[in-house]
A and B are shown apart, each in its own frame.
Chain A
Amino acid sequence: MKFITPVVLVMLLPVFGMSQKSIPDISLRSNRNTEINLKKFADTVNHPVIISFWATWCTPCINELEAFNESYEDWQETTGVEVVAVSIDDARSTSRANSLAIGKGWNYTILFDENQELKRALNIANVPATIVIYKGDIIYTHNSYHPGDEEELYEKVKELIK
């Protein structure tokens, strides 16, 4: 049995090399007192959305969201882009996430992926990980963060609304 599975897995890859980039049908609790279904959200909004996976214990993640925040007003005016910050903090720190965001002056919608369902569904190995979605599809994916990455990301967003 053991050898069949990898064979099946590997077989699947070339056949469907054109893997579809779309958002999983998963609902998460948000800091706006509502539950948001990612797929429905992605299908209904007309502007580009940056989804940033972060955690309260992840410094590069926080640096990335701070960098977005510094330009967020400009970005929104020019492109209408929305930032959604998905906290993968588990029970240890999930209650911290919203307080930290407010203490940073962030005005993002925050989603709580407490048992990392969305992170797993998108095959994200580590945080920070950032994806750009537009009209229901994933357009761009980036792992890790270094200062300046936000410029590249914003270029991708600008290309979308041209």
Chain B
Amino acid sequence: MKKILILSALTGLYTISLKAQENSSVQPEKTKLIITGGVESNAAWYNRYDEKFLFFEDSRFGSNTYLKTELRYGHFFAGGQYELYKNIAVLGSPKAFNGKQGLGTLYAGYQSDKIDVTAGYIYDQFGSGLAFRTWEDRQLGLNNALIGGRIAVRPVKGLELKILGGNIRNIFSKSDGEVYGADMELQLNDALKIKAKKWRYNIGSSYVLRHTDYIDTINEVPRSVGVVSLRAGAKNDHFAIQAEWVQKSKDILSNGSGQVLYDSGKYTGNALLINTSYTGKQVGINVTLRKLRNMDFRAERGSLFVNNLINYLPALTPQHHFSLQNIYPYNAQGGYYILTGLNNIFNVGEIGGNAEIYYNVPKNTGLGGKTGLQLSLHYGEFHAIDFESDSDFGASIKDLNYNSNKFGDLLFRDYGFEVKKTWNKKLKTEFNYTHFNYNGFIIESGGPGTPTTAADFIAVDGTYKINKKHSLQMDLQHLWSREDIQHRGNWAAATLEYSWAPYVSFYATDLYNYGNDKKDEQIHYYNFGTAINYKNARLSIGYGRQRQGLFCVGGVCRLVPASSGFNASFNYNF
């Protein structure tokens, strides 16, 4: 019924716009209909058998295609997205998409300076997203748009109030649970007309309620769970501090794999996030601290991975850009996990922080040399939250000092530096060193296990501009790894890319796991291909092998299986 309503709204706009066009010759200044849209398609043709790469799906051809359009007429807007996953969805997307097609999103509404009203599929975020965030990430096959309605009002400058409600999109359907939310954001200087220019203050708060009719006959499970968020911030030209505190009412305790802890349902959740920064002349410093405890928040019981998410719990460590650095990505731990398998002791959440310094070393200085250089340093680590247990064996969650804030076992640590130097108009180089400590059992599979991988990474990267249009880029990487949970050992990698701006580029890259303990798994993961740009369109075609691993975009990760074959992607916007 809702769909029919929205469709009739679309048809209405269509008619209005036709009329508008007829009249446009008479009144050229009349409100114009604006149409924009885009197409994106990612496809792959998988090899059934290529050494270690086996492929078992029904069809070897996978593709994810998105057709999107939006119409705007004055203050009114309407749009939608059609999605096709044929013959199967590209590996790594949720398998529930395989073979399906349909309407992914559809929405219509009114937008002005003072008020926004939207019905249909909605993307929004409260604060930093710890309480509520709906968004789309096509690379992860993630779309948790809220299907329902939203009203946002801005009665005075500096104040915004929002209310929303509905279900969370789940593949081509919607979550069992309903979600309602309210949010307030206040820029105090604007709203109270504070004259002091030096400092600017903001406060905010949200409430999000999830209700399901799910009845659990074994566990006592709260059907309604509420999350409160309070935020405050202050900044001037150099310093900034933002803090957010979040409290979740009693809820089940689940792990990243959708398993729910027996006899849970009586554990509250909470989070604290503090972001501080200093920016001076040519220097920027950032420090972030965060604690998460039982903050996994979903619109349906037992949801896996990227399904039915209501909030956003990103890993706060930096996202690295070299391929070998991404063998050990961190994935934030918001739920429970078992740190030591023997004693069956549960841990919940994470606590830790991250600091970075970016420095633009000026020209004609000792360190900077003639052309200057860019330096960045980072250090971050996250731990399990420790607790005191009453018994040595079989300590369950009951025995935990649940609200402890003590740093426990290490989950992840990385530190390192990057130096970028422009030598002259033709040559730029970059050097990168990173150290990792990585608890693979917890990060990849939710435990149990304590071994922590230690790894050191170095890379050199150079870009050489042959002339105005032609350039070469090359990198060499090495990763020393000890106690990898899959015994993969050391890696080496290289990339070579040639580009003819702005039209074509060619690349070849190889990751070689030469240190693997198993001789027959010392595999070359090679990839080569080309990308073509023309106006608003881009096409890329490649052939190669994808290693199995945790693939992360933003703060959300998914496990991608190993595969081999052709891949192509196309996008065009208008």
Residues of A at under 8 Å CB distance from B? 1-2, 4-6, 8-9, 12-13, 15-16, 19-20, 22, 24-25, 33, 56-59, 63, 66, 70, 90-93, 95-96, 98-105, 114-117, 120-126, 141-144, 146-149, 151-152
Evaluate contact between B38 and A125: CB separation under 8 angstroms.
yes
Bound complex: CA A90 to CA B332 (Å): 15
Which partner residue on chain A sits nearest B276 by CB separation? A95
- On chain B, the residues within 8 Å of A126 by CB distance are 571
A102 to chain B, nearest CB (A): 4
Which partner residue on chain A sits nearest B129 by CB separation? A91
> Known contacts A103-B360, A143-B538, A151-B468: does B33 contact A16 (CB below 8 Å)?
yes
Bound complex: CA A96 to CA B320 (Å): 13
Of B89-97, B283-291, B401-409, B439-447, which binds chain A?
B283-291
> Known contacts A99-B356, A117-B123: does B37 contact A92 (CB below 8 Å)?
no
Evaluate contact between A92 and B316: CB separation under 8 angstroms.
yes
Evaluate contact between A102 and B82: CB separation under 8 angstroms.
no
Contact sample, A vs B, 9 pairs, CB 8 Å cutoff: A20-B32, A92-B555, A93-B319, A95-B288, A96-B286, A96-B356, A99-B286, A103-B284, A148-B500
A89 to chain B, nearest CB (A): 8
Residues of B at under 8 Å CB distance from A? 3-4, 7, 10-11, 14, 17-18, 32-38, 40, 67-72, 80, 82, 101-103, 106, 111, 123-125, 128-130, 133, 135-136, 138, 200, 235, 242, 275, 277, 279-280, 282-286, 288, 312, 314-316, 318-321, 356-360, 372, 374-376, 422, 463, 465, 468-471, 473, 499-502, 505, 531, 533, 535-538, 554-555, 571, 573-574
Evaluate contact between A95 and B286: CB separation under 8 angstroms.
yes
Evaluate contact between B135 and A115: CB separation under 8 angstroms.
yes
Other A-B pairs beyond A20-B36, A95-B277, A148-B469, 12, CB < 8 Å: A2-B102, A9-B37, A13-B37, A33-B200, A66-B422, A90-B555, A103-B375, A105-B360, A142-B502, A144-B533, A144-B538, A152-B502
- On chain A, the residues within 8 Å of B35 by CB distance are 12, 16, 19-20
- On chain B, the residues within 8 Å of A63 by CB distance are 463
Which partner residue on chain A sits nearest B42 by CB separation? A125
- On chain B, the residues within 8 Å of A124 by CB distance are 38, 573
Bound complex: CA A146 to CA B357 (Å): 27
Bound complex: CA A104 to CA B279 (Å): 12
> Known contacts A57-B319, A98-B279, A115-B135: does B312 contact A103 (CB below 8 Å)?
no
B520 to chain A, nearest CB (A): 34
- On chain A, the residues within 8 Å of B10 by CB distance are 8
> Known contacts A1-B4, A6-B67, A148-B470: does B376 contact A123 (CB below 8 Å)?
no
Q: Which of A57, A93, A103, A126 has the most CB of B within 10 A?
A: A103
Bound complex: CA A103 to CA B286 (Å): 11
A124 to chain B, nearest CB (A): 7
Evaluate contact between A148 and B468: CB separation under 8 angstroms.
yes
Bound complex: CA A130 to CA B501 (Å): 14
Evaluate contact between B124 and A115: CB separation under 8 angstroms.
yes
- On chain A, the residues within 8 Å of B470 by CB distance are 148
Evaluate contact between B501 and A147: CB separation under 8 angstroms.
yes
- On chain A, the residues within 8 Å of B463 by CB distance are 63, 147
Q: Which of A15, A93, A101, A147 has the most CB of B within 10 A?
A: A147
- On chain B, the residues within 8 Å of A16 by CB distance are 17, 33, 35
Which partner residue on chain B sits nearest A5 by CB separation? B103
> Known contacts A19-B574, A115-B124: does B501 contact A151 (CB below 8 Å)?
yes
A17 to chain B, nearest CB (A): 9
- On chain B, the residues within 8 Å of A20 by CB distance are 32-36
Bound complex: CA A33 to CA B234 (Å): 11
Bound complex: CA A120 to CA B124 (Å): 12
For A92, give its contact among B72, B283, B319, B501 (CB under 8 Å): B319
Evaluate contact between B103 and A2: CB separation under 8 angstroms.
yes
- On chain A, the residues within 8 Å of B82 by CB distance are 5-6, 9
Which partner residue on chain B sits nearest A58 by CB separation? B321
Evaluate contact between B573 and A141: CB separation under 8 angstroms.
yes
> Known contacts A95-B288, A102-B282: does B80 contact A152 (CB below 8 Å)?
no
- On chain A, the residues within 8 Å of B360 by CB distance are 102-105
For B554, give its contact among A24, A25, A92, A149 (CB under 8 Å): A92
> Known contacts A102-B360, A115-B133: does B469 contact A151 (CB below 8 Å)?
yes
Bound complex: CA A120 to CA B275 (Å): 27
Bound complex: CA A117 to CA B505 (Å): 30
Which partner residue on chain A sits nearest B471 by CB separation? A147
> Known contacts A104-B374, A142-B533, A148-B465: does B135 contact A116 (CB below 8 Å)?
yes
- On chain B, the residues within 8 Å of A99 by CB distance are 277, 279, 284-286, 356, 358
- On chain A, the residues within 8 Å of B473 by CB distance are 147
Evaluate contact between A125 and B573: CB separation under 8 angstroms.
yes
Which partner residue on chain B sits nearest A10 by CB separation? B67
Which partner residue on chain B sits nearest A40 by CB separation? B113
Evaluate contact between A123 and B277: CB separation under 8 angstroms.
no
